[in-house]
Amino acid sequence: MPFPSPDPELAVDFLTGRRDATPLLAEAARLRDEGHGTTVTYSRKVFIPLTTLCRDTCTYCTFAKPPGNGGEYLTPDDVLAIARAGERHACTEALLTLGDRPEERWPQAAAFLADQGCATTLEYVRRMSELIREETALFPHANPGLMTEEDLLALRPTNPSMGLMLENISPRLMEPGMPHHDCPDKDPAGRMATIEAAGRAAVPFTTGVLVGIGETPRELVDSLFAIAGVAADGGIQEVIVQNFRAKADTLMRRSAEPTVHYMVRVVAAARWILGAA
């Protein structure tokens, strides 16, 4: 008997344990083998934290820092030094990570950008991408947050691929007391707009979900179906299923983490919903 087609209600039942997940795991394994065989591939990359300043205040984040307490930009010399170190270690990609539009919150960010002759952080990302391409053999992969189609097209000549995590499709997570409250860049509509714009701009794109930040199983399933809908039109090269970890010095340091058994079901459901490709 063939396994059912992806269905939101059935997916929720698998995640919550109302249905035995054994058949789901078997179907996920079949789809994996059909689409990718048994060979695991990877791309060695060097992590370049272009700036740890951010205008958002996600309650689980340890990457973003305020000015004077670790929040800063890497200079062009810093960027090139890290990129060259990655090149020496046989990396092929430079992963540019950064906070979202810090110049709109922090005067120090705007001042640094002005010193570099840039009006925005996105412009600085473009310049550093060009520097990496000119001075190394690495391929930049930028994760600069929300972008318009014009932003994506400006970065495309130097970035063979880019990314933005959807995290979750539910606007409920932006309400007071939730992890994305007062985080304008975590608006699901804006993030979906960026992912869709990447498809129109023909940019191979990485996205994904963050599991365990207060979402319901249904909100997680809806997020996977939202990604699947965009992937059907092309453009999605990779979907990350990332588990939340409770970290010291964050407001969510005492929050429960998703269990391994739950993550197994989530990954299997993602493979079922997203298909073999």
Domain ranges of the chain: 1-38+163-277, 42-144
pTM above 0.85, yes or no: yes
C-alpha 224/C-alpha 241 separation (Å) is 10
H helix intervals, 201-259 = 217-231
pLDDT tens by residue, the chain, 277 residues: 789 999 999 999 999 999 999 999 999 999 999 999 999 999 999 999 999 999 999 999 999 999 999 999 999 999 999 999 999 999 999 999 999 999 999 999 999 999 999 999 999 999 999 999 999 999 999 999 999 999 999 999 999 999 999 999 999 999 999 999 999 999 999 999 999 999 999 999 999 999 999 999 999 999 999 999 999 888 899 999 999 999 999 999 999 999 999 999 999 999 999 999 8
- Edge-to-edge strand list for the sheet holding 161-163: 45-51, 93-98, 139-143, 161-163, 205-211, 236-243
C-alpha 220/C-alpha 257 separation (Å) is 15
Q: How many CB atoms lie within 10 A of CB 110?
A: 17
Torsion of CA 216, 222, 224, 230, to 10 degrees: -150
